[in-house]
Each structure stands twice: as C-alpha cells, then as structure tokens.
Amino acid sequence: MKKSMIAGMAAVFLLQACATIVHTSEQKVQINTVPPGISARIGTQDCVTPCTLNVPRASDRVYLRKGKTEKEYYLDKGYNLGATICGNILWLVPGLIVDFIAGGAYTIKPINVRFSDLD
C-alpha cells in the first residue's frame, strides 16, 4: 500500500510539463526571404536565408538584416493547448506554467518575408 502510494505521488510529479517533454523546449524554424541572401538572427544563432535554425520555443523575435538595415519581426506561434492541457490533467496548474515558460506549449510557424518588407 505504501509503495503504491509513493509510486502514485512520484507519477504525479514526473508527469509535469508534458508538452515540454513531448515537444521539447526547442524547435527547428525555417526562414525564407524573397530574394534569398538576407541575414537572419534568433537569439544568439544566425544564418543566411533560406535556412533553418534550432531555437528555443520560448523565443519571440527574429531579426532580418540587409546591409545596414535591420528589422525586427515577432515570431508567429501556434498553441498546442490540447496536448498541453491533456498532458497536465493530473496536476494542471504547475504543468501549464512550466509548459508556457519553457515554450513546450508553442509551435513556431515558418518565417516567410519579402525583401520589400525590409525597406
């Protein structure tokens, strides 16, 4: 009886932040520009488009640069609310907090920008 109670309590604590465990806290984000060859930066990672960066899901901005002109864009995110809520059904509030802070509740959508948007 005592062992099953301890196992049950351990399961409740180990099943926290299910979306972060399933989706991980990082995601590969595809960045495309028209025309290609624009410098892109998310956090400390950068690349020249078209490219893909492996970034934390909690990231919120991408910076695009052509020459001396740099423009900031907010990342478009979708929410995995179904998976997040169902995964945290046993211990809802703490798991949801971790998922939203770590980014497991989000999916970052691909970035598509036309060069004229940088002017």
User: 97: exposed, middle or buried (C-beta count within 10 Å: 0-12, 13-18, 19+)?
Assistant: middle
Q: Which amino acid is at 70?
A: E
pLDDT at 108: 76
Task: Read off the pLDDT of each residue in 55-75 and give the average, rounded to a whole number.
Answer: 87
Domain interval for residue 49: 2-118
User: Which helix (DSSP H) or strand (DSSP E) does residue 81 occupy?
Assistant: helix 81-87
How many CB atoms neighbour CB 33 within 10 A?
A: 22
**What gap in Å lies between CA 91 and CA 57, rounded to an integer?**
22
pLDDT for 33 beyond 80: yes
pLDDT for 65 beyond 70: yes
pLDDT for 83 beyond 90: no
Count of the separate structural domains present in the chain: 1
Answer whether 0.75 is exceeded by the pTM: no
Beta bridge partners of 62: 73
Task: Read off the pLDDT of each residue in 65-91 and give the average, rounded to a whole number.
Answer: 73
